[in-house]
Amino acid sequence: MDRTRIDIGVCTYRRPELEQTLRSLAKLNVPGNVDIRIIVADNDDTPSAKGCVDSLRAFVPHGIVYVHCPSSNISIARNACLDNATGDFLAFIDDDETASKDWITELIGTAQATAADAVLGPVKAIYAREAPGWMQRGDFHSTFPVWVGERIITGYTCNVLLRLAAPSLAGRRFSLALGRSGGEDTEFFTHMHRMGGQIAYAPQAWVEEPVPATRAAFSWLAKRKFRFGQTHGRLLDAGTGIPGKIRPLTLAAAKCGVCALAAALFFFSPVRRNRYFLRACLHAGAVVGLLGIREIEQYGAAKARTS
């Protein structure tokens, strides 16, 4: 049988959770005709993750390629994974996530069944006991694809499999300009889809992600939603002039107002209130993005300065 080669890209930046991520990859159920290789792209100024990677080589039954790719810009690390990938497919998983045992099996099965250029899987948030009750009940941190009708028109890199030979991915790289703000994955997949790339979904290809205390806050969620909206608004603005902005600006502002009103109406229902308020933040971000205001830095150097 022809063998399928899958590289798994893990971009890391000063995260001790990387060890658990690699240990979960060591326990994957891998189909008999599939070969796995792991690429760890270390985005720190110094090769701080090399010791962790080297200590796990004997434990992980797959080849590991360590790439030091400074610094403080997640797009540099993602592009390093693309540049060093030699397989038929490249999967991405975050360095604070753990893969379920059938993760790769589910992703590759969906890719083969659909011939899709990219396959997304779900990310299940794991909350600490101290996390607010409304947050746990509403599951505000888990990640799923956004469907537009029967299509998925953009994606994310926290759980995805890419078909590297797909024409829509030929020469495609993540934007360095967005590597410190976030939104580089949204832009990547949006342009991939516009080039004819199909995005499929494997609902059983689970990975899990613990929610640290710094993220278990409404302010973090609001900031993240606002940035999502900025990226969406900027992409909506691609190729349009001033007249082209009027309709999306009006629509985004109206949606922001409606969601803010709904949040007020559900004031005594924390899950609904906060969900509507976060939607208002998303649409407010879209307005700002349409006006051409760039996303603020959240990762890399910005993260280092606040830690």
Q: CA end-to-end span of the chain, whole Å? A: 50
Is the backbone peptide bond immediately before 181 cis, with ω within 30 degrees of 0?
no
Each residue's pLDDT, cut to its tens digit, for the chain (307 residues) gives 589 999 999 999 999 999 999 999 999 999 999 999 999 999 999 999 999 999 999 999 999 999 999 989 999 999 999 999 999 999 999 999 999 999 999 999 999 999 999 999 999 999 999 999 999 999 999 999 999 999 999 999 999 999 999 999 999 999 999 998 889 999 999 999 999 999 999 999 999 999 999 999 999 999 999 999 999 998 886 666 777 788 899 999 999 999 999 999 999 999 999 999 999 999 999 999 998 887 766 655 444 433 3
What's the pTM? 0.92
CA 143 to CA 203: how far, in whole Å? Answer: 11
- What is the Cα–Cα distance from 106 to 161, expressed in whole angstroms? 10
pLDDT given at position 2: 86
What type of residue sits at position 188?
Answer: F
Between the alpha carbon of residue 252 and those of residues 204, 237, 264, 280, the distances in Å are 34, 12, 19, 9
The answer to whether 277 and 242 are in contact (CB under 8 A) is no
Q: Backbone phi, then psi, for 158, in 5-degree steps?
A: -75, -10
Separation between Cα atoms, residue 58 and residue 250, nearest integer Å: 58
**Rounded distance between C-alpha atoms, residue 273 and residue 267, angstroms:** 6
Of the candidates 87, 78, 80, the one whose C-alpha atom is nearest the C-alpha of residue 165 is 87
pLDDT at 298: 61
Cβ(199)–Cβ(145) below 8 Å: yes
Q: Which two tokens stand for residue 210?
A: 């613990």
* Separation between Cα atoms, residue 89 and residue 117, nearest integer Å: 10
> What is the token pair recorded at 158?
């926290």
Q: In Å, what is the CA distance from 214 to each residue of 63, 118, 132?
A: 34, 31, 12
Q: What is the strand order of the sheet 123-127 is part of?
A: 98-99, 207-211, 123-127
Contacts of residue 137, Cβ cutoff 8 Å, sequence gap at least 6: 271
Which among 123, 161, 159 is positioned nearest to 142, based on CA atoms?
123
User: Positive or negative, the Cα torsion across 113, 114, 120, 126?
Assistant: negative
Q: Encoding tokens for residue 46?
A: 């110094």
Strands 199-201 and 118-120 turn out to be: parallel
Position 259 scores a pLDDT of: 98
Q: Which two tokens stand for residue 205?
A: 């290809």
Residue 1 confidence (pLDDT): 58
Only one residue has tokens 């979960």, namely 24
Distance, in Å, from the CA atom of 61 to the CA atom of 8, rounded to the nearest integer, reads 13
Are the beta carbons of 35 and 85 closer than 8 angstroms? no
